[in-house]
Structures are given as structure tokens and as C-alpha cells.
Amino acid sequence: MNNDKSRQTLLGIVGFGAFGQLAAAHLGEYFEISAYDPSPGLAKTAQQLGVTLSSLHSVSQADVILIAAPVSSFEEVVSEIAVACNPGALIVDVGSVKVIPSEIMRRLLPNHMDIVATHPLFGPQSAGPGIEGLKVAVCPIQGRRHMRLAAFLRKALGLTVIMTTPDDHDQEAAVVQGLTHLIAKVLLRMGPLPTRMTTKSFDLLSEAISMVQHDAPEVFEAIEKANPYAETVRRRFFDLAASLSIELEAASTTKPHNESGH
């Protein structure tokens, strides 16, 4: 986090998908950015954002390494970063779950690296109007630079920083994200949804769906399968929904007692 233009801090983004590109758009004035992504066709976008596309080995030699790769490839990516990274580098991940990625980073990365697990509680859709005031969870894992990172996120980017632990994060995210994405999936399968005679509450629900419906499939997979608390929350939700359904069915079959003829 160095504003000195004569020696900008080097930021390497591993995973130049939708969120990697969003990060580059907001961090370009603070860092010299390089990025790695195995997907083809990213050269034009990278050029527009002032980002140099490079190899994973080269990107892993930056001062700050931002991992925006899917959970499915996370361990492989971290293993390669561990071989190439420089002493004193800061590594930050931005995944939707924190317990599993934090364990992987702690286990595979050298002791000379500072590690901070983060989760920006927004995506490209909700960040459209700007990111000032939006929330980011910050989990210190190794080293002491989490406070400096938190200060940068607050002062430079205007984010609301929530200091937490990977375990506490995943417990809350299992409800906050898990249920939001789950309900959105179900309602989308019920579509097309009404757009004419709608209430304010339904409009808000539709807006919530629109924020997550274009997320990459691996985001939903991570939220529902890689979070160790998601299954328990999901089962409780379905159990309560089934219980409510039974109550409603029982109420509809209960008829008033007819005393005629007595």
C-alpha cells in the first residue's frame, strides 16, 4: 500500500475473472498490477484496466498477492505461489468461504509471508454504483500486517471493515449468503416472476435475486458446499419450510364442525 509513484507497490492478482477485474479497477491508482488467469480472451480487458497479464510464477513474485481463484483450484494455486513468492510478501484471498482457504494458506505458505483472509461482502453487481461504504470481512491468519491492510481498505477505498475469524465468518455467511443464494436459485426456477403487480417487498426480493443470479456457478458451489456450516443451515431451512407446509395443509383440511341434524 504505497502511494509513491516512483516505486509503486506491485500487486499480483491470481484469477482475473469478474472479481479480479473489479479489484483491478479500484486498485489501479495504488498499485502496479499484473494478473494471471488460464482463461483465454482477457487481453483486451487487461489492457483497458492497465493490467499486465503474466505467468502464475511471475505474478507470485509481487509485493502483494491477491488470490481470486475458485475454491476448487485454491490448493493448487497456493502450492505454486508458495514456491515462487518473495520473503515478506503479503498474501490476501477474497473467497466467499474462509475456513478451508485459511487452513490451506496456513499449511502451505512459508512463515515469512503475511497472510490475511478477506471476503468483500459485495460483487460486481452490487458494486456497480461504487464500493464506498460496502463491507469487507478481514481475518488475520499470519503476521501483523492485517491492521495496515484494514486501514488501507477503510481510508483509501472507503470500505466498512469487519474484523473476524474464519470460523465466525463461515457461521454467519452460511445464513447470510447461503440462504440468499439458495432462495434465489429456487425462485429463478419458478420463473418468469411477475413484474407488473408487485409489492415493495417483492421488488426488494427481485433486486436481491438480480444481484446474485449472474454469479459464476463456482460461487454458488463454494457458498453451499465449501462452507462447513452451510449444510446444517440448509437442512434447517428445508425442515422448517416442510413443517410450515404440513401446518398449512392441515389447516386447509380442517373443516368447521357442522351441528345440523343433531
DSSP letter for each residue of the chain: ----GGGPEEEEEE--SHHHHHHHHHHTTTEEEEEE-SSSS-HHHHHHTT-EE--HHHHTTSSEEEE---GGGHHHHHHHHHHHPPTT-EEEE--S--HHHHHHHHHHS-TTSEEEEEEES--TTTTTT--TT-EEEEEEEESSTHHHHHHHHHHTT--EEEE--HHHHHHHHHHHHHHHHHHHHHHHHTPSPP-SS--HHHHHHHHHHHHHTTS-HHHHHIIIIISTTHHHHHHHHHHHHHHHHHHHHHHHH------TT-
Query: Which of the listed residues 164, 189, 212 is the one where a domain comes to its end?
Result: 164
Average pLDDT, integer, range 88-108 = 97
Q: Are residues 176 and 149 both part of a single domain?
A: no
**Is the pLDDT confidence value at 72 over 50?**
yes
Q: Residues 152, 198: one domain? A: no
Residue 258, pLDDT above cutoff 80: no
pTM: 0.88
Q: What number is the average pLDDT over the span 5-23? A: 89
Question: Is residue 108 pLDDT above 80, yes or no?
Answer: yes
Domain assignment of residue 43, given as a range? 5-164
Let me know whether 42 and 157 are in one domain.
yes
Cell matching residue 248: 398449512
* The pLDDT of residue 199 is above 90: yes
CATH number for 132: 3.40.50.720
- Residues 54-81: what's their mean pLDDT? 96
What is the count of structural domains for the chain? 2
Domain end (from 164, 181, 215): 164
Q: Is the same domain home to 188 and 244?
A: yes
Co-location of 96 and 209 in the same domain: no
* Mean pLDDT over each residue of the chain, to the nearest integer: 93
What average pLDDT does this structure show over 138-142? 98
Specify the pLDDT at position 5. Answer: 46
The pLDDT assigned to 128 comes to: 87
Q: Is pLDDT above 80 for 256?
A: no
Domain-located, residue 140: yes
Give the pLDDT confidence score for residue 181 in this predicted structure: 94
- What are the cell numbers at 78? 497456493
Of 166-175, 181-190, 206-215, 225-234, which range is least confident?
206-215
Q: Are residues 152 and 51 in the same domain?
A: yes
pLDDT at position 7: 64
Q: Are residues 92 and 57 part of one domain?
A: yes
Are residues 42 and 152 located together in one domain of the fold? yes
Q: What is the mean pLDDT of residues 27-56?
A: 97
**Average pLDDT score over residue span 109-128:** 94
Residues 33 and 145 in one domain: yes
Q: Are residues 95 and 133 in the same domain?
A: yes
CA–CA dist 188, 207 (Å, integer): 12
Find the radius of gyration of the CA atoms of the chain.
Answer: 23
Residue 189, pLDDT score: 94
- Of 218 and 102, the structure prediction assigns the larger pLDDT to 102
Is residue 125 one of the residues assigned to a domain? yes
Claim to verify: residue 24 and residue 139 sit in the same structural domain: yes
Domain boundary among the residues 164, 197, 212 is at: 164
Is residue 32 over pLDDT 70? Answer: yes
